[in-house]
Structure 1
């Protein structure tokens, strides 16, 4: 089992890479923004429901936990605003920068304050148990978003499968493409 701190920081790095893709791959922004939304929501819910209560209780960091939840809410509000904008428009770029800065600020605080407090308060075995709880809740949340992949067109799914170099994609039906793309994302 992997400890929860590694899982959370790995998610942070994956989110940063996804932000870079949104900046660079302008033509894929709608699809990538859906991925950002799924990842951010799943990560936040898993932290708030499985990790933060332990940080508040065991590390006695209620104030920092409350602040972390507020930052999650701020990021989600900014994300909802982004989803309403034209991804090719100038306003999108400015709002996206604001969103990324808010998330980066949260990540820096979490990695320098909340997670070290958790590590100091609980043992390795507890960190691994929390890792499993975090993963389970995160995957549960992502499963709801994955169902949304089936709402995309076959062409969108095929394009993503091509970019992921998924073999056999040309003969796949829409549902098969959705499953293959999601499987590849999980690797």
Structure 2
């Protein structure tokens, strides 16, 4: 099995750190698209860092940015949480695809890419740009430390396990962040 090492910085500007993770997501997505790569290992690393990143943002970054920037308001934060829920739902389908050489895996990967790219673009434009412009460097560094500490804790807990992602998706449904699941007739 190929080892996809997840970087674990201990300090930095929160905007730069989040952007570094965004580039890591894109790199791991490319690996999962490559039929000659160790797709299963790439999927495992992707799931862990994606969930750890999203949880750290929601609980440690978004609330503080909402208080410190004019352009990041409660609506922006809620929208970010909805998109994280959609990402987790797409991730669950990717994790539940048996094998990595199936059409189900490739369809789930395509959906994951669509949802993820939409979120990354919106977040970089509507949350990270205002943070870069309106939040002092010292505060961004403090936010970076809080983000990295939470991210690291989630990575240690294997945040991307299928069981944890199922739990997060169920919580999102319970909170109304995702539409109600349709009943089988």
TM-score in terms of structure 1 length: 0.74
Cα offset for 1:25?
A: 4.1
SS in 2 for 1:145: coil
Instruction: Indicate if the aligned counterparts of 2:52 and 2:154 stay in contact, CA closer than 8 A.
Output: yes
Alpha carbons 1:38, 1:145 under 8 Å: kept: yes
In the TM superposition, what is the alpha-carbon distance from 1:81 to its structure 2 partner?
1.2
Instruction: Give the helix-richer structure, 1 or 2.
Output: 1
Aligned residue number for residue 68 of structure 1:
80
Does residue 84 of the first structure (1) align with residue 96 of the second (2)? Answer: yes
Q: How does 1:38-117 map to 2 (within 5 A)?
A: 38-60=48-70, 61-86=73-98, 87-117=100-130
Aligned to 2:124, the other structure's residue is in SS state: helix
Q: How many residues were matched structurally?
A: 147
Structure 1 runs of 4+ aligned residues shifted over 6 Å read: none
Kindly state the Cα deviation for residue 26 of structure 1 after the two structures are TM-superposed.
5.3
Point out the more displaced range, 23-32 or 46-55: 23-32
Distance 1:76 1:25 in 2: 24
Task: Give TM-score, length-normalised by structure 2.
Answer: 0.74
Q: Is the 8 A contact 1:45 1:138 kept in 2?
A: yes
- For the pair 1:118 / 2:128, whether they are aligned, the reply is no
Give the RMSD, CA atoms, in angstroms: 1.7
Out of 153, 156, 179, the residue aligned to residue 140 of structure 1 is 153
User: Of the two structures, which has the highest relative contact order with CA contacts closer than 8 Å and spacing of 6 or more?
Assistant: 2
Distance 1:47 1:63 in 2: 15
Conserved in 1, the CA contact under 8 Å of 2:53 and 2:151? Answer: yes
Provide Cα deviations, 1:71-115, integer angstroms capped at 9, x if missing partner.
Answer: 111111111111111321112212211111111110000111111
Contact 1:50 1:134 (C-alpha < 8 Å) held by counterparts: yes
Q: Distance in 2 between matches of 1:56 and 1:25?
A: 42
Which one has the largest radius of gyration?
1
Say if 1:26 and 1:88, in contact at 8 Å, map to a contact too: no
